[in-house]
């Protein structure tokens, strides 16, 4: 264990020197990768230094126990118990920190929310989820940008696509991918019956241009006039963009910006991220046929979480966690839920080792 930790510390020191090397600084790709790895290793190195220091103290105390000074031996024995407990605690923390890192965790993310089963009520729920995530992003200090919306005119969304930028955004948000189910009485329901609706959430790591190369000849780009809110500009300018990726058949539209150039850039960003997600899902299926795809069809049966309004209850079915603080969660207080999902993910990884 200590040999492995010393290798990690040496690598961390080596990366620190690279970050000040003019040759590395002049190469943006090398600099970005070195900085990323350096950041990944930093928490491990801190714990590793503590663990090595305590291991040395344990070795010293054990050596004292072989001596003849009874007073020193008594002090060493008492100290040894505490040090060994601390050593075990640090060892468990290091096992988690040294789990293989998802290289996407540090990336920004693109989130796509779509109304599923339930018609207008599903669209209103999609709007609830959008607000929940944007409020969570505000709490985390992340930057957010709406890229595409398709609203229903009464506050709901058939679809909303937006990006989040900040520290480890994908690492936090990736657990939100799947089908979210809502149980509540719609405002339009006169009899007061509880309806069940669903919306799908897709969380995509934002692909960098270097990762996904898109050939110009593989794209069919159409421009058209934007629809919906936007004032006079909507009817006068063909600023909306529709990009079709011919090899995959993926279609991305973007009309939220007034500039055709900005809409095109946003659409290409979404397209790259979808292509990266496709590639990663294909690799995951090759490694494990049992792994389910990230987002289902929006059917009620394929749920990861239920939001029950009459009971003020939220339940995550993957970890069997239930809380009766629905309004707080919908206001973006998601930290506890995502922390529990992260911990469960780590436990499963450790059990599989």
Q: Residue 144's pLDDT is what?
A: 94
Tokens of 35: 């900085």
Q: Do domains 109-209+298-352 and 216-286 have the same CATH topology?
A: no
Closest CA to 167 of 341, 39, 43: 39
The crossing angle, in degrees rounded to 10, of helices 70-97 and 335-352 is: 100
> How far is the C-alpha of 307 from the C-alpha of 314, rounded, in Å?
5
Per-domain boundaries in the chain: 2-97, 109-209+298-352, 216-286
Q: Is domain 2-97 classified as CATH 1.20.1260?
A: no
Domain covering 109-209+298-352 in this structure, CATH number = 3.30.70.1660
Question: Please, which residues have CB within 8 angstroms of residue 353's CB and are 6 or more apart in sequence?
Answer: none
Copy the structure tokens of residue 76. Answer: 């060493």
- The predicted structure's pLDDT at residue 211: 66
DSSP letter (8 states) at residue 230? S
Query: CA 208 from chain center: how many Å?
Result: 16
Q: Are 133 and 160 in contact (CB under 8 A)?
A: no
Residue 266: phi and psi, rounded to 5, are -65, -40
Residues pairing with 322 in the sheet: 315
Distance between CA 199 and CA 221 in Å, rounded? 29
Burial of residue 319 (CB within 10 Å: 0-12, 13-18, 19+) is: middle
Q: Would you tell me how many other CB atoms lie within 10 Å of the CB of residue 129?
A: 23
Helices (H), 192-290: 233-236, 260-287
Q: At 340, is the secondary structure helix, strand, or coil?
A: helix
Domain 216-286 belongs in CATH node 3.40.47.10: no
Q: What is the structure's pLDDT at 235? A: 44
Q: What pLDDT, on the 0 to 100 scale, is given for residue 37?
A: 87
Q: Write down the pLDDT at residue 287.
A: 46
124 by Cβ neighbours in 10 Å (0-12 / 13-18 / 19+) ranks as buried
Tokens standing for 284?
């995951």
Is residue 268 within 8 Å of 244, Cβ to Cβ?
A: no
- Encode 193-202: b = buried (16+ Cβ within 10 Å), e = exposed: eeebbbbbbb
List the structure tokens of 281. 């899902």
| Structure confidence at residue 301 (pLDDT) | 44
Alpha-carbon distance of 80 to 54, in angstroms, equals: 10
Q: For residues 121 and 197, is the Cβ–Cβ distance under 8 A?
A: yes
| Residue 179 confidence (pLDDT) | 93
pLDDT at 302: 60
Distance separating alpha carbons of residues 68 and 153, to the nearest angstrom: 85
Integer-rounded Cα radius of gyration of the chain: 26
Give the pLDDT score at 236: 52
Sole residue written with tokens 């944007």: 134
Predicted confidence at residue 112, as pLDDT, reads 93
State which residues of the chain have pLDDT below 50.
229-235, 287-301
């Amino acid at each position: 264990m200590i040999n492995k930790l010393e290798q990690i510390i040496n690598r961390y020191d080596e990366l620190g020197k690279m970050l000040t090397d003019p040759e590395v600084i002049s190469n943006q790709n090398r600099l970005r990768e070195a900085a990323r790895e350096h950041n990944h290793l930093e928490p491990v190195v801190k714990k590793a230094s503590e663990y090595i220091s305590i291991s040395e103290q344990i070795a010293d105390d054990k050596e004292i126990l072989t001596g003849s000074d009874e007073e020193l031996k008594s002090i060493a024995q008492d100290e040894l118990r505490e040090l060994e407990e601390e050593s075990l605690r640090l060892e468990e923390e290091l096992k988690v920190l040294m789990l293989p890192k998802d290289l996407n965790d540090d990336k920004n993310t693109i989130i796509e929310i779509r109304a599923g089963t339930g018609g207008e009520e599903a669209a209103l729920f999609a709007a609830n989820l959008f607000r929940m995530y944007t409020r969570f992003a505000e709490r985390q200090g992340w930057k957010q940008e709406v890229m595409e919306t398709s609203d229903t005119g009464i506050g709901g969304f058939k679809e909303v696509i937006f990006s989040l930028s900040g520290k480890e955004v994908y690492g936090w948000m990736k657990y939100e991918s799947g089908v979210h189910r809502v149980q509540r009485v719609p405002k339009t329901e006169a009899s007061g019956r509880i309806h069940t609706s669903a919306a799908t959430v897709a969380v995509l790591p934002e692909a960098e241009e270097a990762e996904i190369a898109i050939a110009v000849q593989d794209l069919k780009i159409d421009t058209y006039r934007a629809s919906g809110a936007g004032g006079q500009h909507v009817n006068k300018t063909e600023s909306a963009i529709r990009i079709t990726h011919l090899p995959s058949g993926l279609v991305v539209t973007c009309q939220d910006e007034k500039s055709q150039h900005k809409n095109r850039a946003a659409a290409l960003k979404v397209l790259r991220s979808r292509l990266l997600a496709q590639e990663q899902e294909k690799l995951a299926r090759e490694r494990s046929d049992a792994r389910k795809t990230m987002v289902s069809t929006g059917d009620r049966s394929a749920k990861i979480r239920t939001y029950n309004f009459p009971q003020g209850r939220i339940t995550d079915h993957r970890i069997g966690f239930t809380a009766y603080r629905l309004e707080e969660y919908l206001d973006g207080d998601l930290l506890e839920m995502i922390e529990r999902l992260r911990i469960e993910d780590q436990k499963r990884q450790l059990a599989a080792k």
